[in-house]
Structure 1
Amino acid sequence: MADVGVRAARHDDVAAVTGTQIRAWRYGYREFLPEGPLEQMTGPAAEKMWRLQWEDAITSPPSPRHRVLVAVERVVLDTDAFPALGPGGIEAMAAMQGAEKVVGLASHAPAEDPDLDPTTTGEMLTFLVDPDHVRRGHGSRLLNATVDYLREDGYRTIVTWVFADNYRVLGFLESAGWGDDGAERVIDMGRTVRMVRLATDIS
């Protein structure tokens, strides 16, 4: 069994957050990003860079409106389901009981695009679920927590940038009420890769 939830990221989550990002990118982006650039984005050198960036984002955010959230699962064991255990088994079970695992992450901040008002529009910068933990509601919980925080901060709209060929995430966000607002980016990754901006009203 597992108890699930979303909370603010802590310093001791940095390694898990970085690992979740790398695994989610390798799995989720392999269908539409060129292999070379994706390897550069997720290789050992890049992983060190991302770890430093996440450490700064989690421990020294630029403002109180910059946040990193994590989805977690906590092991909850049904002790009645276990036969009698020896001392070693009891210690092992006690160590597992309540152990928490980061299985997804989301980050948000005031919007930075020049056509948006950062006092009324927030941006979801990151939205990822570990590929081994998809379809367990973590994405919905992260999205709802992001909306709750930004609404409390007084924002009326949220935007996020998504790869145009990332149909899994596009479909999920569109089913949650997000829509393409017409803005797009084109990135040269050896071939053209397009991103679209989605928005949703939370007022």
Structure 2
Amino acid sequence: MALFREQADVSVRPAVPGDEVAITDVQLAAWRATHADVVGAEVLAGLDPSALHERWRAAIVRPPTPEHRVLTACEGATVVGFAAVAPLPAAPGPPPAGPGGELVALEVAPGSRRTGHASRLLAAVVDGLRQDGGEHLVAWVLDGDTARGQFLRSAGLGPDGAVRQLATGMVVDRSAPDGSPAVERTVSEHRWSAAI
């Protein structure tokens, strides 16, 4: 008797209206699993899923340009990851020469990681950029996200020296005496890039 191993049907497709709920769920779960120490669990707990649903719906239904895209990774019909890409913006540091895109988001649900979804999403992003005449891809890596850095390095990207600071919101310094004002928490992101 032969043993057969069931394997889910896996795919990448453009996001469609209705995917915004699953995309938000994946984003929040991934951020909580990966970024709570750096960004702050209280900041992540304060994110409004309804507002994120609306932003993702707008990105899917009314992208600012044809080059703005949202893709989903699926196991069967279930969305387990997503990527969003935009045209290269003016950014700090030396810009890549020539046209290209910025990987605005790439997240996979914690329970579906290390199964090839991120690689398939990144390959689809690069294929789309090449079809549009893109020559470069950039992505941002949050301090402390070694797994993302390792993934991007394995895909051929590397740090290019650009750094940006992001404000995550006001947080209370729990180590300070009572009555201390909230302070703004900032995090650093480093730009990674590659010719495609």
TM more than 0.5: yes
Query: Residue 198 of structure 1 corresponds to which residue in structure 2?
Result: 192
CA distance in 1, matches of 2:65, 2:97: 13
Deviations 1:138-185 (A, max 9, x none): 010001000000011101001111102111101110111101011001
Flag the 1:185–1:68 CA change in 2: closer, same or farther, 3 A: same
CA distance in 1, matches of 2:56, 2:186: 28
Decide which of 82, 85, 90 is 1:105's aligned counterpart.
82
1:166 and 2:145 aligned: yes
Q: Is the 8 A contact 2:32 2:41 kept in 1?
A: no
Q: Is the 8 A contact 1:110 1:119 kept in 2?
A: no
Q: Is the 8 A contact 2:98 2:135 kept in 1?
A: no
Query: Residue 73 of structure 2 corresponds to which residue in structure 1?
Result: 71
Task: Report deviation, 1:104.
Answer: 0.3
Q: Kindly indicate which of the two structures has a greater share of residues assigned to helix.
A: 1
Q: Is the 8 A contact 2:102 2:139 kept in 1?
A: yes
Flag the 1:114–1:187 CA change in 2: closer, same or farther, 3 A: closer
Decide which of 95, 102, 105 is 1:126's aligned counterpart.
105
Alignment RMSD: 1.7
Q: TM-score, normalised to structure 2's length?
A: 0.83
> What is the DSSP-based 3-state SS (H/G/I as helix, E as strand, rest coil) of the residue aligned with 2:58?
helix
CA distance in 2, matches of 1:73, 1:114: 35
Query: Residue 13 of structure 1 corresponds to which residue in structure 2?
Result: 19
Deviates most, 147-156 or 187-196:
187-196
Q: Is the 8 A contact 2:38 2:143 kept in 1?
A: no
Identity percentage of aligned residues: 39
Deviates most, 7-16 or 183-192:
183-192
Query: Residue 43 of structure 2 corresponds to which residue in structure 1?
Result: 37
1:50 and 2:52 aligned: yes
> What is the DSSP-based 3-state SS (H/G/I as helix, E as strand, rest coil) of the residue aligned with 2:162?
strand
> What is the DSSP-based 3-state SS (H/G/I as helix, E as strand, rest coil) of the residue aligned with 1:2?
coil
Q: Is the 8 A contact 1:122 1:155 kept in 2?
A: yes
CA distance in 1, matches of 2:96, 2:122: 21
CA distance in 1, matches of 2:36, 2:105: 17
CA distance in 1, matches of 2:186, 2:67: 33
Q: Structure 2, unaligned stretches of length 5 or more?
A: 1-6, 169-183
Q: Is the 8 A contact 2:167 2:185 kept in 1?
A: yes
CA distance in 2, matches of 1:192, 1:54: 24
Task: Report deviation, 1:130.
Answer: 0.5
Task: Report deviation, 1:33.
Answer: 2.1
Q: Is the 8 A contact 1:57 1:67 kept in 2?
A: yes
CA distance in 1, matches of 2:75, 2:131: 25
